[in-house]
Structure 1
Amino acid sequence: MKKQDLMSIDEIQKLADPDMQKVNQNIFAQLNSDVPLIGQLGFYIVQGGGKRIRPLIAVLAARSLGFEGASSITCATFVEFIHTASLLHDDVVDESDMRRGRATANSEFGNAASVLVGDFIYTRAFQLVAQLESLKILGIMADATNVLAEGEVQQLMNVNDPETSEANYMRVIYSKTARLFEVAGQAAAIVAGGTEVQEKALQDYGRYIGTAFQLVDDVLDYSANTQALGKNVGDDLAEGKPTLPLLHAMRYGNAQQAALIREAIEQGGKREAIDEVLAIMAEHKSLDYAMNRAKEEAQKAVDAIVMLPDSDYKKALISLAYLSVDRNY
């Protein structure tokens, strides 16, 4: 597909808007609870913006197979709930104070409330899956949440560890991010009654676009501005997280440069060290390396769904893959 034939993000959102409105309505409905704090904190985080890319993939995937039922809305909602719960827990673990350009839920409501409401949202996601009456989707979701938790623990082990390998880091990306994108595509294909080939295609699409998405986030952590990014630039280094650009710069830098990056990872990079690290990355084109890896993954996502029937929804999925690496936020 030629670049001029691709859809803009506005066109994609317009196409998916009827379904996404239903998803958003369902999200708010499912956050209702007799415990006021659950609704307050839950509404705070879901109203905080976010790209809603996982539910968007779910509704587009189902539509690309000709499905018009309500089950895809349920799929989109439960996937977004797993993601939302993981964000609440992430921000507590990382002691983050800013997300999407405003204070994190743990900053506003405290760590205990964030963890417990995150647990509520996780369990609500399982209630939604139960509504689908599909043991296959239940098994997929159970596996995905387990893999996600493993990824969280592995990332925790990688913090302040400059010995983290690129392969190890890519496994974390799969576990923490790409696996849930896989679920969005695969579960949508299942409720849409797709063939095994179509199901595998949309699962693969999710994995590749999810990987691309996270790699771009890694790049933006060092190249975007705080307002566009919605968090502090250089947070990954400040938290001692060895992401792909850092690992690349450390591998190809000279002994002095590698030692500086190792120390920054081990101690959690101070703000004044970020400029030095950025200069090393620029010298060795480390951000370009990570971005090129992201573009390769985006192309794999496009190639994965080439066999789907042609439609505006397939076109939207293809366009979304390319747009995932062409952004500054």
Structure 2
Amino acid sequence: MDLARELSDFLVLVEQRINAALVDGDAGPDVKGDTLMEAARHLVLGGGGKRARPLLVRLFGDAVGLPGEQLVEIGVAAELIHSASLLHDDVVDGGMFRRSRPTVNARWGNIVAVMSGDLILSTTLLRLVELDARMAQSALSVVAEMTRAAIAEVEARGIMDLPLAQLRYIAEGKTGSLFGWCGKAVALIARAPDAVQRFDGFGRHLGVAFQIADDIRDILGTDVGKPQYADLHSRTPSMPMLLALAKDDGLRRKLRDAWAFSSLSPERAQELGAGIIATGAVDQSLERLNAEIEAALDQLGPFADTVGGQELVGWARKLSAGITDQVRSRVA
């Protein structure tokens, strides 16, 4: 069986296990349908999720020779932790659409969205305790890091001179920490201590690159299922935005004036977005994305020569190539 087929079969198993984890069985005998799990299924199932984290788990497993069946539960846990964070993020951001569908908070309200995220998270951690207490402990640490990064992002809103180091801290905490956990958990269960830090480091750098890619797509309008200029509308600093403001005082004044109002008109957002692109900040952001990817690949060390490691390298390179193509076609 070729690797592509093996990966596909693995993701099918992950999907089946996610379905089983989101049933109403624990709702109680007198409850006709668990609203929280219904809301969770709305987000997690059938919405076009890329399942990037379970895929990472499988590739890390291949890098240390761990059979696929031992990786399924880790992949499920990573995806469900991610899903819980999305439920909470949509409440914080007031998001109305995700993956081209209404968010849980838009359909059921903030209370259901928050509690659904809490239920997914607690259920996932309990499953990890049964699997391996060490993984549950490391997952709890990651959840704490993700939470700190999320509030740091909220506190950064409207700050036009946010240090780039702080922006990177937010990206690593919100995305990189869970990417890193995918590798760390695999290394723990594989009893491969030399892989723990290497896989964690790879995942963290790759996660930062993923966040920069999202920032670029937001400015270019190439993020399918998400409205363009979401960061400008929410006053959330992004990599292209901060790099552009550091180069253009006139743009800084325009943005400050625009953020003085409660909302941005589509025309104003378009003007500001074009101004950001005109500074060359998107190209600079791409350079930083590629630097993070190179740092990620350096972390792999000897594992880069394994079958799984080669796939991880290819996956990272594909991210770079895809964003580069988008930048060249939209900025040229």
Q: TM-score, normalised by structure 1?
A: 0.89
How far 1:13 moved relative to its partner? 5.1
1:160/1:266 contact within 8 Å kept: no
The yes-or-no answer on 1:210 pairing with 2:201 is no
Equivalent residue, structure 1, for 2:251: 257
Q: Distance in 2 between matches of 1:165 and 1:318?
A: 30
Question: 8 Å contact 1:162–1:265 — kept in the other structure?
Answer: no
Name the CA distance, whole Å, in 1 between partners of 2:196 and 2:21.
27
* 2: CA distance, partners of 1:249 / 1:286: 5
Residues 73 and 280 (structure 1 numbering): CA distance in 2 closer, same or farther, change over 3 Å? same
Determine if contact 2:23/2:37 at 8 Å carries over to the other structure.
yes
- Mapping 1:179-258, distance limit 5 Å: 179-194=177-192, 196-225=193-222, 228-253=223-248, 255-258=249-252
Tell me by how many angstroms 1:166 deviates: 1.3
Which runs of 5 or more structure 2 residues have no equivalent in the other structure? 28-32, 327-332
For residues 252-311 of structure 1, the C-alpha deviation after alignment (integer angstroms, 9 at most, x for no partner) is 01x322211233456554322222222322221111111111111112222222411734
Kindly indicate whether the alpha-carbon contact (under 8 Å) linking 2:240 and 2:281 is maintained by their aligned counterparts in 1. yes
**1:322 Cα deviation after fit:** 1.2
- 1:309-324 aligned within 5 A: 310-324=305-319
Distance verdict in 2 for CA 1:55–1:266, change over 3 Å: farther
The answer to whether the 8 A contact 2:304-2:310 is kept is no
Query: Superposed, which structure 2 residues align to 1:158-177 within 5 Å?
Result: 158-177=156-175
The CA deviation at 1:114 is 0.9
Shift of 1:16: 1.1
Give 1:38 deviation, angstroms. Answer: 2.7
Matched, 1:294 2:292: no
Residue 230 of structure 1: how far off its partner (Å): 0.8
The answer to whether the 8 A contact 2:62-2:307 is kept is no
One-letter code of the match for 2:41? F
CA offset digits 1:183-241 (Å, max 9, x no partner): 011111111221x222221111111111111110000001134xx52110111110110
Equivalence for 1:28: 19
SS in 2 for 1:325: helix
Unaligned runs of 5+ in 1: 1-10
For the aligned residues, what is the CA RMSD?
1.9
Q: What one-letter code is carried by the residue in structure 2 that aligns with 1:114?
A: A
- Kindly tell me the number of residue pairs found equivalent between the two proteins: 314
CA distance, structure 1, for counterparts of residue 3 and residue 300 of structure 2: 17
Please give the secondary structure, in 2, of the residue aligned with 1:50: coil
With a CA cutoff of 8 Å and minimum separation of 6, indicate the structure with the bigger relative contact order.
1
CA distance in 2, matches of 1:122, 1:109: 19
Shift, 1:174, TM fit: 1.0
SS of the counterpart of 2:37? helix
Name the SS for the 2:303 alignment partner. Answer: coil
CA contact (8 A) 1:59 1:72 kept: yes
Shift in alpha-carbon separation, 1:169–1:163, aligned structure 2, 3 A: same
1:132: Cα distance to partner? Answer: 1.8
Given that residues 161 and 242 in structure 2 are in contact (C-alpha distance below 8 angstroms), is that contact kept between their aligned partners in structure 1? no
- Structure 1 runs of 4+ aligned residues shifted over 6 Å read none
- Check the 8 A contact 1:173/1:211 in 2, yes or no: yes
Cα 1:12–1:231 shift into 2, 3 Å: farther
Output the TM-score relative to the length of structure 2: 0.89
Contact 1:88 1:114 in 2 (8 A): yes
The one-letter code matched in structure 2 to 1:180 is L
CA displacement at 1:160 relative to structure 2: 1.9
1:41 equivalenced with 2:39 (yes/no): yes
Give the Cα separation in 2 of the matches to 1:327 and 1:100. 19
Distance 2:141 2:274 in 1: 41
> Do the aligned partners of 2:10 and 2:68 also contact (CA within 8 Å) in 1?
no
Give the secondary structure class of the aligned counterpart of 1:49.
Answer: coil
Shift in CA distance, 22/37, structure 1 to aligned 2, threshold 3 Å: same
**Equivalent position amino acid for 2:146 in 1:** L
Corresponding residue of 2:154: 156
Match of 1:70 in 2: 69
Deviation, structure 1 residue 12? 6.9
Percentage of matched positions with identical amino acids: 26
Distance verdict in 2 for CA 1:128–1:160, change over 3 Å: same
Determine the C-alpha separation between the residues in 2 that align with 1:200 and 1:289: 29
